[in-house]
Amino acid sequence: MQSIKGKTAIITGASKGIGLAVAQKFAQEGANLMLIARSEATLKDLSVKLERENDVKVIYAKADLTNSKDIESAFEIFSKNFNTLDILVNNAGRGIFNYIHNGSPAEWREVIDLNLTGLIHLTNLSVKLMIPQKNGHIVNISSVAGRVGIPGWSVYCATKWGVVGFSESIRKELLKYNIRVSVIEPGVVTTEWGENMPHEWITQRSQMKALKPEDIAEAVYYVVTQPANVSVSELLIRPTEQER
Ligand SMILES: NC(=O)c1ccc[n+]([C@@H]2O[C@H](COP(=O)([O-])OP(=O)(O)OC[C@H]3O[C@@H](n4cnc5c(N)ncnc54)[C@H](OP(=O)(O)O)[C@@H]3O)[C@@H](O)[C@H]2O)c1
């Protein structure tokens, strides 16, 4: 196992859910962090709390990751504060339930711009730092929905399948620079994720012993602490009772 103590990580979607759990785990293990999300007040409070409770530096940037200018500004803040970037956790993501005969271009764009274009853009900026370092790790949070098709979640599935294809391609591009790429594919996790959900989905989720955000944080920690010669390319994690 490699320690992440003293390493530097960017975590997107760190204001709640899985991203928050990853931020807490990484800070406890001694990593210095940059947190990104839209909820500035939450990020500010969280940064103060993580610095107070752990011997680490935590900065944050308010950014809408569907907006390329916000992504560039956030990365500038990162570069002014840190010289190296060891780990990028591309976690921010949304899903909007709708059948394909409904929906609208604006709705599809919201999901695609965040889950795919934003993730690609932040990866592009990050690898420009990682390549000269000859070191780095990109962890992309996809989903079970990146492995199967699910009625009502077609656009979400398209983005998560896209994340898998993107990750596997850049893994091949970047291995010569000693940069690892991992995809984590959670099943149902108890968070606020999922908009427009049909009632039966909400009931199903609440009745199931779903995963906790901390379970996924442990998985992210597992992949980034493997020895240098071990690259965990893909990790699919479901609640024991989840069939899909
Ligand atoms: N929960 C599940 O069952 C599940 C299963 C499989 C995969 N996943 C994936 O896991 C990841 C995290 O989901 P979660 O369950 O933790 O969801 P969540 O609780 O809804 O958290 C989503 C995070 O993304 C941020 N975010 C949303 N829109 C954003 C935007 N436009 N710009 C910047 N940040 C944005 C949110 O912060 P702000 O609102 O402050 O911006 C929040 O921190 C997502 O990629 C999701 O697709 C979740």
List the domain range (segments joined by +) for residue 31.
Answer: 8-237
Average pLDDT over residues 147-153: 96
Q: Judge whether 244 lies within some domain.
A: no
- Beginning with the edge strand found earlier in the chain, give each strand of the sheet holding 136-141 in spatial order: 58-62, 32-37, 8-12, 87-90, 136-141, 179-186, 234-237
Q: Judge whether 74 lies within some domain.
A: yes
Compute the distance between CA of residue 88 and CA of residue 170 in angstroms, rounded to an integer.
14
Q: Judge whether 200 lies within some domain.
A: yes
Which atom of ligand 1 sits closest to the CA of residue 205? 3
Residue 93 and residue 115 in contact, taking contact as beta carbons nearer than 8 Å: yes
Q: Judge whether 188 lies within some domain.
A: yes
Domain count along the chain = 1
- pLDDT of residue 205 exceeding 90, the answer is no
Q: Judge whether 3 lies within some domain.
A: no
Compute the distance between CA of residue 175 and CA of residue 169 in angstroms, rounded to an integer.
10
| Strand 179-186 versus strand 136-141 pairing type | parallel
- pLDDT of the residue at 157: 98
Structure tokens at 174: 């970047």
Structure tokens at 46: 């969280």
Compute the distance between CA of residue 236 and CA of residue 244 in angstroms, rounded to an integer.
12
Which residues neighbour 173 within 8 Å (Cβ) at sequence distance 6 or greater?
Answer: none
Write the residue with the smallest CA distance to atom 8 of ligand 1. 143
Q: Judge whether 199 lies within some domain.
A: yes
The CATH number covering residue 191 comes to 3.40.50.720
Q: Judge whether 243 lies within some domain.
A: no
Give the model confidence (pLDDT) of 103-141 as tens digits. Answer: 999 999 999 999 999 999 999 999 999 999 999 999 999
pTM higher than 0.75 for the full model? yes
Q: Judge whether 115 lies within some domain.
A: yes
Output the CA 158–ligand 1 centroid distance in Å. 16
The binding-site residues of ligand 1, defined as CB within 6 angstroms of any ligand atom, are 13-19, 37-39, 63-66, 91-95, 114, 141, 143, 186, 188-189, 191-193
Per-residue confidence band for 194, with pLDDT thresholds at 50, 70 and 90: confident
Which atom of ligand 1 sits closest to the CA of residue 189? 3
Give the model confidence (pLDDT) of 57-103 as tens digits. Answer: 999 999 999 999 999 999 999 999 999 999 999 999 999 999 999 99
